[in-house]
């Protein structure tokens, strides 16, 4: 198998070649030459979510047709990193601490279920040993890591009914 393509996670910007604010066509063009990315598909017939890498990269589009949220799952064709660290090869508490150290809206209390860092607009979901594909299921690893823009943050706060982290 070929070496995985690097997908750096940059809050407020994007993940790999996919950027917040891109249109569907721009996302597809950015991923067209990335091994393993295509074919793309929608999560459902009228879904606002486009999926790549067999749903391991998902992009949510707003009504204006631009990306407002990007999330990743562990996939062998992608190397997803934050600050040079493989996010799917870090125990969940360590990944949480890495993001918490960069989000000054804290303090932040580790949550294995789900957590949204409001300053970074980074979301972590479902820490469990079953997602530790790189460590032989020996430690809890977050299933997904996502980044969003202000539209995503506002929608998330509205759903949760508050403006605090978590």
Write the CATH number for 143: 2.60.460
Residues 6+ apart with CB under 8 A from 161: none
Tell me, what's the pLDDT at 162? Answer: 55
Q: What is the domain count for the chain?
A: 1
**Is the CB of residue 26 less than 8 Å from the CB of residue 70?**
no
Widest distance between CA atoms in the chain: 45
In a domain, 105, yes or no: yes
Residue 164 lies in a domain: no
Does 13 fall in a domain? yes
**37 lies in some domain:** yes
DSSP 164: S
166 within a domain of the structure (yes/no): no
3 state DSSP class of 158: helix
Alpha helices in the chain (DSSP H): 24-31, 92-100, 150-160
Q: How far apart are CA 160 and CA 82, in angstroms?
A: 26
pLDDT per residue as tens, the chain (166 positions)? 579 999 999 999 999 999 999 999 999 999 999 999 988 877 767 789 999 999 999 999 999 999 999 999 999 999 999 999 999 999 999 999 999 999 999 899 999 999 999 999 999 999 999 999 999 999 999 999 999 999 999 998 888 775 445 5
Instruction: Give 120's Cβ-side CA count (13 Å radius).
Output: 25
Range of the domain at 55: 5-159
Report yes or no on 133 lying in a domain: yes
Query: What pLDDT, on a 0 to 100 scale, did the predictor assign at position 163?
Result: 47
Task: Tell me the C-alpha distance between 143 and 72, whole Å.
Answer: 8
Per-residue model confidence (pLDDT) at position 31? 97
> Contact 148/20 with Cβ under 8 angstroms?
yes
In whole angstroms, give the CA distance from residue 153 to residue 143: 20
Query: Tokens standing for 100?
Result: 């918490």
Residues 6 or more apart from 58 whose CB is under 8 A from it?
43, 49, 50, 51, 52, 70, 71, 72
**Confidence at residue 26, expressed as pLDDT on a 0 to 100 scale:** 97
DSSP H or E stretch at residue 152: helix 150-160
Question: Domain for residue 19, yes or no?
Answer: yes
Does this model's pTM top 0.85? My answer is yes
Quick one: which of 88, 117, 123 has its CA closest to 104? 117
Domain membership flag for residue 165: no
């Amino acid at each position: 198998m070929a070496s995985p393509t690097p997908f750096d996670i940059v809050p407020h910007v994007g993940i790999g070649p996919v950027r917040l604010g891109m249109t569907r066509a721009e996302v597809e063009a950015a991923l067209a030459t990335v091994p393993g990315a295509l074919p793309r598909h929608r999560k459902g017939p009228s879904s606002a979510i486009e999926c790549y890498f067999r749903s391991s990269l998902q992009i949510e589009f707003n009504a204006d047709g631009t990306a407002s949220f990007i999330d990743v799952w562990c996939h062998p064709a992608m190397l997803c990193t934050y600050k040079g660290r493989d996010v799917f090869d870090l125990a969940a508490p360590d990944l949480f601490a890495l993001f918490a150290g960069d989000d000054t809206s804290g303090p932040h209390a580790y949550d294995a279920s789900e957590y949204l860092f409001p300053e970074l607009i980074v979301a972590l979901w479902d820490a469990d040993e079953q997602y530790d594909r790189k460590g032989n299921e020996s430690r809890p690893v977050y299933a997904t890591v996502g980044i969003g823009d202000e539209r995503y943050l506002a929608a998330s706060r509205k759903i949760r009914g508050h403006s605090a982290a978590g």
